[in-house]
A = this chain, B = another copy of it.
Amino acid sequence: MEFSQSTLLSLEELYRRNLMNTLTGYKNGNLIGTQDENGNTNLAVFNSVFHIGAKPPHIGFVLRPTTVARHTYDNIRAVGYYTINHIHTEMTAAAHQTSAKYPKEESEFEKCGFTPHFSTNFGFAPYVKESRIKIGLKFAEEIYIKTNDVWIIVGEVQEIIIDENFIRKDGFIDLQKAGTAVVSGLDAYYEATEIARYAFARPNQEVSSV
C-alpha cells in the first residue's frame, strides 16, 4: 500500500493524525511537571522528548499549542523550570489520564493520583514521586516551527534523580530494569524486552553483543 502526499492530505483528520503519530516508530512517554508563580502544580503526558546533546546536557520536546499543553508552556515560561519523569509500565493508565482537559486550578497530580516531590536543590518545579527516573530542567531555548505551529522547547539538565541499581558501569541506564514504558501514537503503551546491546561497530567486522 502506498500513500502519496496528496492521498495523505486528503485523509480524514483523525486517521491522518493517528497514522502520522505512529509512522515514526516507538516513542518514550514522559510526564512533565510544572508549577505557576503561585505554586499551583501541573502535570501532563508528552511523547516527544528527545536527546539533543550531552555537553551541555540538553533535552528537547515538541509542544503543540493545545489547551492541555498550554498550561505546561505557560508555567515553563513564567517560572523557567520543569521536570521530566519516566512513565513506568504500572502507571500508564494514570499517566494517560493527565491528558484530559482539567481546568487550570485543578492539579493533575491530585486528580490522577501522583505525588508532587520537591528536591532539596531543585525547588522550582514538582517531580513525580512515583517515577523512578526524574530529571530537573531549566528552560534554555524555544524554537518555533511555523509550518506546523509547534514549538521545540529545549531545556538544560540541572539534576537527575535515579536509583543507582538502574545504571550499568558505563553509564547506560537499564530502562527494562527500571520498568519504563514505551509509547506509540497518542494512546498506546508497551513494555520492552531487550534483544541485544551491540559493541561499537567497525567496517568489515562482525557485529557482536556486549
Contacts and interface: CB of A to CB of B under 8 A. Distances in A.
A197 B207 contact: no
A189 B182 contact: no
A188 B197 contact: yes
Given A195-B190, A202-B100, A18 B145 contact: no
Contacts of A173: 18-19, 22-23, 184-185
Given A48-B50, A51-B23, A159-B5, A96 B189 contact: no
A63 to B, nearest CB: 11
Interface in A80-111: 84, 86, 89, 92-94, 96-103, 106, 111
Interface of A: 1-5, 8-9, 11-30, 48-59, 62, 64, 84, 86, 89, 92-94, 96-103, 106, 111, 119, 121, 133, 135, 140-141, 143, 145, 147-150, 152, 154, 156-164, 167-168, 170-173, 175-176, 180-185, 187-205, 207, 210
If over half of A's interface residues share one DSSP class (helix, strand or loop), that class is named, otherwise mixed; here it is mixed
A163 to B, nearest CB: 6
Contact of A187 (B22, B84, B154, B197): B197
A174 to B, nearest CB: 8
B100 A205 contact: yes
Contacts of A141: 145, 147
B161 A1 contact: yes
Nearest to A158: B5
B147 A140 contact: yes
A67 B42 CA distance: 42
B50 A192 contact: no
The list of the 4 closest CB pairs from A to B, nearest first, reads A53-B148, A25-B28, A15-B171, A18-B171
